[in-house]
Structure 1
Amino acid sequence: MSGHQPPPVVELRGVGLTYPGPPPVEALRPCELTVRRGDFVTVTGPSGAGKSTFLNLVGLLDTQTCGTYLLDGLDTGALGDVDRTALRGRRIGFVFQSFHLLNYRTAVENVALALVYRKMKRVRRVASAREALARVGLEHRMDALPSTLSGGERQRVAIARALVGEPSLLLCDEPTGNLDTATASSILSLLDELNGAGLTLVVITHDAAVARRGGRTLEIRDGRMTEQAVTC
């Protein structure tokens, strides 16, 4: 049996974040984590425990106050703001509880907007958006406005928008939080399919049933991250 493992997408080496005081607040205590290509990791914990801090750090929205964060082998701490923003745009897709769609833009236009800052002709942006929508099962709703879409369809548009740039990592923050049980199940099945096709997923959730969908589950309490009872 081969010992070969997929390459890491995310590596946290003693990464933590402390907000300055007084008094200082240790929002995420120094932790170690490796997320490899194709992993499906879920992150749980009570409100205020540090899940959002973790998401913001991994998503390059915040910068750690200690440790080293490697994304696809790149030391993110060595980058300036412009390069960090560019890296985030190329390598990370985001899906949130609220869909954040522009109501006056069609589904395909909403997805294509994610590529507007890339050096790509409009016709190619639209073609890529159509491919992404087809990937999430919305071939028949590409020209629909968000107001005419169901909640599940709107979340699928949001997922397509996150996928259109072909990211290394998809970060999802409570992706089923605004959906009924049946619709949530269909979105989770979609995430399973995407992961089965090789996409690396990190899903933040308070829902135990959603957490069980992952191949690995992290828990964050009081800023401390644990995995299978091993404290980071």
Structure 2
Amino acid sequence: MTDTPVIRFDGVGLTYPGPPPVTALRDCRMTVERGEFVAVVGPSGSGKSTFLNLAGLLDRPTTGTYELDGIDVRSLSETERTALRGRRLGFVFQAFHLLPYRTALENVALAQLYSRVSAADRRKAAAEALRRVGLGHRMHALPTTLSGGERQRVAIARALVNRPSLLLCDEPTGSLDTSTAGTVMDLLAELNSAGLTIVVITHDLHVAGRADRILAIRDGRLSADRPSGQAASAPQEPHAHAG
């Protein structure tokens, strides 16, 4: 398992039925190896969200093959896909999606509600995840009393609690100021250094520059694959040719 890519797309595409049909992603071929930190960049409408939905098992490709941890997901039922998503994937979104009337600990523990884990073990795992993101002292706080950065850390803890193979982050700093965004990216880099595979979807090249590798999507096509060091000073989305 350790040598198996976490993500392998082989000719993956998605066309939404019409009329007229709309092709959102075309012939995407890429891999994300275990332990990588990859950023996916592109302008609005480029296909980034479609990439996220496919990688996150929220949509099914209409062409090609997608393997998650070596598992070909094409033939899986919706129940099997849901179970695989719960075991192998963690999601972090721009809007946090925390329940305002639940404490940080309860929000994180809810991610294990449908697993075969006792309530006591859920709380223990949630507490461990919150400590991992530096919020051991805020476990019993409500989201309304937390800063934006703290709320995003709770969301990251919730994504980590099931020990996923892959963390998928959709504009994780989009609701944060520059300083707080840097702190959140520091946390993601720390988690990656500990071995977690991370894919960040972003339009922000400063965020992308924290990754090891950048994939650019434009007009539904994967159009670049470059070391992130080339992105930090780029004035716009990269236009390198696909490899």
Q: What's the TM-score bracket when you normalise by the shorter of the two chains?
A: over 0.9
Deviation of 1:6 (Å): 4.0
Query: Tell me, which stretches of 5 or more residues in structure 1 are unaligned?
Result: none
Q: Distance in 2 between matches of 1:133 and 1:217?
A: 29
Q: Distance in 2 between matches of 1:22 and 1:157?
A: 42
Name the residue aligned to 2:146. 149
1:181-192 matched pairs, under 5 angstroms: 181-192=178-189
Name the residue aligned to 1:124. 121
Ranked by relative contact order (alpha carbons within 8 Å, sequence separation 6 or more), the top structure is 1
Residues 155-194 of structure 1 show CA distances to partners (whole Å, capped at 9, x for unaligned) of 0000000000000000000000000111000000000000
Q: Distance in 1 between matches of 2:120 and 2:36?
A: 33
RMSD: 1.1
Asked whether the equivalents of residues 17 and 64 of structure 1 are also in contact (C-alpha less than 8 Å), the reply is: yes
Match of 2:135 among 135, 138, 141: 138
TM-score (norm 1): 0.96
Name the residue aligned to 2:242. 231
Asked whether the equivalents of residues 224 and 231 of structure 1 are also in contact (C-alpha less than 8 Å), the reply is: no
Q: Distance in 2 between matches of 1:51 and 1:185?
A: 22
TM-score (norm 2): 0.92
% same residue? 67
Aligned: 1:212 with 2:209: yes
Deviation of 1:198 (Å): 0.3
Match of 1:105 among 102, 105, 113: 102
Aligned residue pairs, count? 228
Name the residue aligned to 1:173. 170
Name the residue aligned to 2:50. 53
One-letter amino acid of the counterpart of residue 128, structure 2: E
Q: Distance in 2 between matches of 1:26 and 1:202?
A: 23
Query: Tell me, which stretches of 5 or more residues in structure 2 are unaligned?
Result: 227-239
Aligned: 1:44 with 2:41: yes
Name the residue aligned to 1:203. 200
Deviation of 1:7 (Å): 2.7
- 3-state SS of 2:6 partner: strand
- 3-state SS of 1:93 partner: strand
Q: Distance in 2 between matches of 1:172 and 1:93?
A: 8
Deviation of 1:230 (Å): 4.3
Aligned: 1:164 with 2:175: no
Q: Which 4+ runs in 1 deviate beyond 3 A?
A: none
Q: Distance in 1 between matches of 2:199 and 2:222?
A: 14
Q: Distance in 2 between matches of 1:189 and 1:159?
A: 13
